[in-house]
Copies of this chain bind each other. A is one copy, B any other.
Amino acid sequence: MPERLVVIGGDAAGMSAASQARKRRGRDRLEIVAFERGHHTSYSACGIPYLVGGVVEEVDALIVRKPEVFREKQQIDVRMRHEVTAIDLDAREVRARDLENERDVVEGFDQLLIATGAKPLRPPIEGSDATGIFGVQVLDDGLAIEQFLETQKPKKAVIVGGGYIGLEMAEALVNRGLEVTLVERDEQPMSTLDPDMGKYVTEALEGLDITVRTGEEVTRFEAENGFVSAVRTEAGRIEAEVVVLGLGARPNTELAESAGVPLGTSGGIKVDRRMQTEVDGVWAAGDCAEKFHLILRKGVAIALGTHANKEGRVAGINLSGGYETFPGVVGTAVTKVCGIEIARTGLTEAEAAESGFEFVTATVDSTTRAGYFPGTMKIKTKMVVERVSGRLLGAQILGQEGAAKRIDVLATALWNRMTVDDMLNMDLGYAPPFAPVWDPVLIAARKAWARVEETIE
């Protein structure tokens, strides 16, 4: 009899794992059942703001592979609209609710992959249940917003939360012609950047005619006839016909926790480098699983599709008898709001201080191409560097087209525990259409190294 793999969650992590497992083991050696609560498999959740903004026109464009393709081409028994409600580790079976037919099914497993994703943070704000208030978590959320915009034609939008999703949704709604206000509890949006970088994000948003209200906490939503009509903060009242919540997310671990699968200190499911939980034959991958942060040297919770895909691949190889490891993350993230590109990797100044590092910082302004080359754009690079050793701890980039992906060099440097004096002579690509003769990344390394030297003298 073939072994049995049950996958909980049919998006990036779950289906990457299922595909890898199938690639390594045919149907006669492995049966695969995958449960998905929603209406879609393997889609790009990161694409939702672009669907809402009309940048991507068809929802199908965001779907990498449909359930029927998994069934037909890969013999993966995908059960859509099935919500797993319990895992029994002793009996080695899961119980799932068939949401369409309102009945329960029970499936046994030899190997179990938990890929339940993330759960949006929803502080208990009065009036949250009004129509017109949306989260942005799964593709169904995106479609719901889309439909609301089309049928209700709201003119005034409030975005609550100035993180990645908040910013991308702000751009989306501006693109659709709405009047947008962004409300952020912290002093700057993008609290994953240091405030000295975040202030330029505020300026950029204001340049796009987005009203930015920082240092304001939402206290209540007002509604008329069940439809949201305003957002109340400590500082006042903002009219709103549609509200988008972008307050972050945490690992969705209730199911794992109830079953007795241990969590890590970050709140994500604790996994080893092979993505196995502390329970034999039970694996976790994606937003629900804890990631090891290679600079902080501890577990963190980061919800990001690229990690989910990689972890799913690693889990799938291991649970089907192979050997592969996922070493961890360095906290890289990129986004854009209209023409403004934002990137970070490693630790911010605030994170470095909190973790007890002794460090210096350096910030430099440069251009994406040779200064004289048409289309050259501004780029600001900040580095956080360990004192004395000169080891890179983190970097942030703000700029226009061609700026953000330079973070990859810095992420690769972090991955290799490089010092800035080793970085500053690196042989990066140079030609006038692509970089100044000293690439901005190298200029920043040069300045950071000078700072390190100053602190020694």
Contact = CB atoms under 8 A, between A and B. Distances in A.
A357 interface: no
A333 interface: yes
Contacts of A326: 425
Interface residues of A, number: 63
Contact of A428 (B50, B411, B426): B411
Given A409-B408, A412-B413, A431 B372 contact: no
B438 A306 contact: yes
Given A56-B373, A61-B372, A416-B416, A407 B429 contact: yes
Contact of A336 (B47, B310, B422, B433): B433
Given A55-B373, A409-B412, A44 B437 contact: yes
Contacts of A412: 409, 412-413, 416, 426, 428
Nearest to A441: B408
B309 A438 contact: yes
Interface string A421-457: 0100111111111110111010000000000000000
A50 B373 contact: yes
A242 interface: no
B425 A310 contact: yes
Interface in A403-423: 404-409, 411-413, 415-416, 418, 422
Nearest to A305: B437
A307 B429 CA distance: 11
Given A56-B373, A343-B429, A409 B409 contact: yes
A309 B434 CA distance: 17
Contacts of A431: 46, 164, 333-336
A432 B46 contact: yes
A86 interface: no
Nearest to A46: B432
A47 B372 contact: yes
Interface centre among A12, A47, A305, A432 (most CB of B within 10 A): A432
A50 B375 CA distance: 13
A208 interface: no
Contacts of A402: 402, 405
Interface centre among A304, A334, A428 (most CB of B within 10 A): A428
A330 B432 contact: no
Interface in A338-377: 343, 345, 370, 372-374
A430 B336 contact: no
B56 A372 contact: yes
A11 to B, nearest CB: 11
A411 B429 contact: yes
Contacts of A305: 430, 437
A427 B44 contact: no
A358 B345 CA distance: 35
B405 A426 contact: no
Interface centre among A331, A333, A412 (most CB of B within 10 A): A412
A139 B301 CA distance: 54
A260 interface: no
Contacts of A170: none
16 contacts: A44-B370, A44-B437, A47-B432, A56-B374, A305-B430, A306-B427, A306-B428, A327-B422, A332-B427, A343-B429, A345-B429, A405-B405, A408-B439, A412-B413, A412-B428, A416-B416
